[in-house]
């Protein structure tokens, strides 16, 4: 059985809390082996406690103790990002003969929805027997994107499995790509690095990127490269062996709408494991390369470089500008519907 509780987490400043009165709530979903806390601001996973092999709980996601931390600039800790997750080259795309220009917030590119994406707004919650459903209307023209977009993000917990479902409908054709940007450290948040984690990703190819992290358009075979993660590798040794400064790349998963295993991470010392299953065509593996120890996180800890990893299930980056990538477009009368399953256990 999953227990669901709600409580007040904080109050948004007057100028920010225009829609919905500005009270941010926290929803606590609890099973016998997982406890997850999710905010109505940005649909943020603010805490996720899971057992080690001795039954000891630890919080394995990065974040802040207070709303204030999430209101300031931070690297999308735990948030749902959109309307388009990841990068759009030069913040531009042309659709149905019209060019759209988005806000540039990542060098020459637009990242994770722009200046005020889905991670920085208040959502309307509805409590479910085993979870919570957040919804909002992203109005036509928000952050430069076309169409009134209705969005639903549903979190449900059953035993050791956290399910995240994303649905959307639009009044005009629009690009869309939704994901959750949780940062994990299975040793417990605040642990100094992730080098002792074992990682595997079920992908035969990945997308090489240019110096601004935009895919070049090529799909490269992982065979014989540092991107071959089909068998588990110990992350620190692997980065060293291949002279890699970290990962921030999309791995191409098997096409098709059915649920499939995408990735697995294990922390041998505690036995904690996370398995990621998804209906999405890609997964962005990011090793916290831009964390620099400057942010004070939960319990006053700092988060240095490589102190967490993200496994963001999503469409391929810049797909709106790459016709041979899986389509990122949602049309009126269609429904965007993707699900990701996170399975936590310890062995």
Structural domain boundaries enclosing 325: 3-346
Q: Is the pLDDT of residue 20 over 80?
A: no
Tokens of 41: 């601001």
In terms of Cβ atoms closer than 10 Å to its own Cβ (0-12, 13-18, 19+), residue 135 is middle
Whole-number Å distance between alpha carbons of 288 and 304: 8
Tens-digit pLDDT profile for residues 148-207? 999 999 999 999 999 999 999 999 999 999 999 999 999 999 999 999 999 999 999 999
Cα separation, 30 vs 45, whole angstroms: 13
H or E segment at 243? none
Length reported for the chain:
347
Examine the pLDDT at 17 and tell me if it is beyond 60.
Answer: no
Number of compact structural domains in the chain: 1
Give backbone dihedrals phi and psi of 71, rounded to 5 degrees, phi first: -75, -25
328 is in an annotated binding site: no
Of 112, 181, 277, 338, catalytic: 181
Q: Is the pLDDT score of 257 beyond 90?
A: no
Mean pLDDT over residues 333-346, rounded?
98
Does the pLDDT of residue 15 top 80, yes or no?
no
pLDDT tens readout for residues 71-129: 999 999 999 999 999 999 999 999 999 999 999 998 999 989 999 999 999 999 999 99
143 catalytic? Reply is: no
pLDDT, mean over the chain: 96
pLDDT computed for residue 21 by the predictor:
59
Global pTM reads 0.96
Active-site residue, from 37, 49, 143, 312: 312
- pLDDT score, position 347: 84
Is 181 a residue of the active site? Answer: yes
The enclosing domain of 178 has a CATH number of: 2.70.98.10
> Is position 145 annotated in a ligand binding site?
no
pLDDT-derived band at 16 (thresholds 50, 70, 90) equals low
């Amino acid at each position: 059985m999953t227990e669901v509780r709600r409580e007040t987490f904080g109050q948004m400043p007057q100028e920010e809390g225009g829609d919905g009165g500005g009270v941010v709530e926290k929803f606590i979903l609890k099973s016998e082996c997982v406890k997850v806390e999710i905010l109505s601001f940005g649909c943020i996973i603010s805490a996720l406690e899971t057992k080690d092999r001795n039954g000891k709980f630890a919080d394995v996601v990065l974040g802040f103790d207070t709303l204030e931390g999430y209101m300031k600039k931070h690297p999308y800790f735990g948030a749902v990002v959109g309307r388009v997750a990841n990068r759009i080259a030069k913040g531009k795309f042309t659709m149905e003969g019209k060019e759209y220009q988005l806000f540039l917030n990542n060098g020459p590119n637009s990242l994770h929805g722009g200046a005020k994406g889905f991670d920085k707004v208040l959502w309307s919650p509805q409590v479910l027997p085993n979870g919570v459903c957040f919804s909002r209307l992203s109005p036509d023209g928000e952050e430069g994107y076309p169409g009134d977009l209705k969005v639903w993000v549903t979190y449900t917990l059953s035993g050791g499995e956290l399910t995240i479902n994303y649905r959307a409908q639009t009044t005009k054709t629009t690009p869309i790509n939704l994901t959750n940007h949780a940062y994990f450290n299975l040793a417990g948040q605040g642990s100094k690095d992730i080098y002792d984690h074992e990682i595997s990703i079920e992908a035969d190819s990945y997308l090489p990127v240019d110096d601004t992290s935009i895919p070049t358009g090529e799909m490269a075979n992982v065979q014989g490269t540092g991107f071959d993660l089909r068998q588990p590798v110990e992350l620190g040794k692997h980065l060293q062996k291949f002279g890699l400064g970290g990962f921030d790349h999309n791995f191409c998963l098997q096409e098709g709408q059915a649920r499939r295993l995408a990735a697995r991470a294990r922390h041998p010392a505690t036995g904690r494991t996370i398995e990621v299953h998804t209906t999405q065509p890609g997964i962005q593996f990011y090793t916290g390369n831009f964390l620099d120890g400057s942010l004070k996180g939960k319990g006053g800890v700092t988060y240095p470089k490589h102190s967490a990893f993200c496994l963001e299930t999503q469409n391929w980056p810049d797909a709106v500008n790459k016709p041979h990538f899986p389509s990122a477009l949602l049309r009126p009368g269609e429904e965007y519907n993707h699900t990701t399953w996170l399975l936590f256990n310890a062995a």
